[in-house]
């Protein structure tokens, strides 16, 4: 079996789809399915149970996937180290990021990196915060870009920036004309919040509690984009990181107002596994993000 076939198998499993996995490797769904069948024949085991929708890995398939993924990762590290001896930075940098980092922001960083290091490539995936952490721990991503990063025995944190939090509301809201929002301004005001298990919700709740503000929570969501949509139709107000609402503020669909509350910012940072040898390409991409502050 060649590395292309092993990589195809891993992409099919990662994307949970023969068609998407094949497309990621530049082949058709039929060719991808045939390649996995040949792999199963070579090993004389069933790796993927196709009778289930969506398909599921067999016990042998899970063992094979974990082993092959580690093999490919080790191969990429060795290849990158060899390339680096010729002063070239190459290989794939696997990045998992939370949605609110911003597609346009990351696209700019990726373009800058590829322009500087044409032998390298970036594979960028947007995930829920918990899934970003899990992807890095499971070594499915080299680095993660996440808010409220917390170091642990497994994960190291590289701080990038802190984003000021602001009150956000539609232009017709009663608070929209204020220059600064005081704690008492939020009493009994309809409030669109993050889900209770998210770090950003806990930070906002803590600040509101310390400031003795008592808004009325009417909705809870797990991401900023959905919260902004709720605000635009007049559901209430929310506290959001200022950079995440710049587009809507510029368009006039939302208003962002400074808060006179306890210090309230959203820290953004890079996470990666401790003790893991990062490839030159990963290190260079992290340097670029730190220089730019991922802004």
Give 31-77 pLDDT, tens digit per residue.
Answer: 999 999 999 999 999 999 988 888 999 999 999 999 998 888 888 77
The region, left, alpha or beta by phi > 0 then psi within -120 to 50, assigned to residue 294 is left
Q: What is the mean pLDDT of the chain?
A: 90
DSSP 34-85: HHHHHHHHHHTS--EETTSSS-EE-HHHHHHHHHHHHHHHHHHHHHHHHHHT
Asked if residue 141 lies in contact with residue 94, where contact means CB atoms within 8 angstroms, the answer is yes
Give the separation between CA 192 and CA 2, rounded to whole angstroms.
52
DSSP 119-143: TEEEEEEEE-HHHHHHHHHTTSSSE
Q: Which two tokens stand for residue 273?
A: 């596994």
The domains of the chain, with CATH numbers, are 1-83 (1.10.10.10), 162-267 (3.40.190.10)
Nearest to 118 by CA among 75, 153, 149, 88: 88
What lies within 8 Å, CB to CB, of 115 at 6+ separation is none
Share of the chain above pLDDT 90, in %: 64
pTM recorded for the entire structure: 0.67
pLDDT digits (tens, 9 = 90+) for 144-188: 999 999 999 899 999 999 999 999 999 999 999 999 999 999 999
């Amino acid at each position: 079996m060649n590395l292309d076939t092993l990589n195809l198998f891993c992409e099919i499993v990662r994307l949970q789809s023969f068609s998407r996995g094949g497309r990621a490797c530049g082949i058709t769904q039929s060719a991808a399915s045939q390649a996995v069948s040949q792999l199963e024949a070579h090993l004389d085991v069933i790796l993927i149970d196709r009778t289930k929708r969506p398909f599921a890995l067999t016990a042998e398939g899970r063992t094979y996937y974990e082993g092959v993924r580690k093999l490919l990762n080790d191969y990429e590290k060795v290849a990158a180290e060899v390339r680096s001896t010729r002063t070239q930075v190459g290989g794939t940098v696997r990045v998992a990021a939370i949605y609110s980092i911003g597609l346009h922001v990351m696209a700019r960083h990726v373009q800058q990196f590829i322009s500087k290091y044409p032998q390298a490539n970036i594979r960028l995936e947007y995930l829920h915060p918990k899934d970003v952490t899990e992807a890095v721990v499971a070594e499915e991503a080299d680095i993660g870009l996440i808010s409220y990063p917390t170091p642990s025995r497994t994960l190291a944190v590289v701080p990038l920036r802190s984003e000021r939090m602001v009150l956000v509301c539609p232009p017709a809201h009663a608070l929209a004309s204020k220059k600064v929002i005081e704690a008492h301004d939020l009493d009994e005001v309809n409030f669109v919040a993050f889900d209770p298990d998210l770090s950003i919700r806990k930070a906002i709740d803590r600040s509101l509690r310390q400031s003795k503000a008592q808004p009325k929570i009417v909705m809870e969501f797990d991401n900023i984009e959905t919260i902004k949509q709720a605000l635009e139709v007049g559901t209430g107000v929310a506290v959001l990181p200022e950079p995440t609402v710049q587009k809507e503020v510029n368009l006039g669909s939302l208003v962002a107002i400074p808060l006179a509350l306890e210090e309230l910012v959203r820290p953004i940072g890079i996470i990666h596994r401790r003790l893991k040898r990062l490839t030159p390409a990963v290190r260079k991409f992290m340097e670029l993000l730190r220089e730019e502050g991922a802004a």
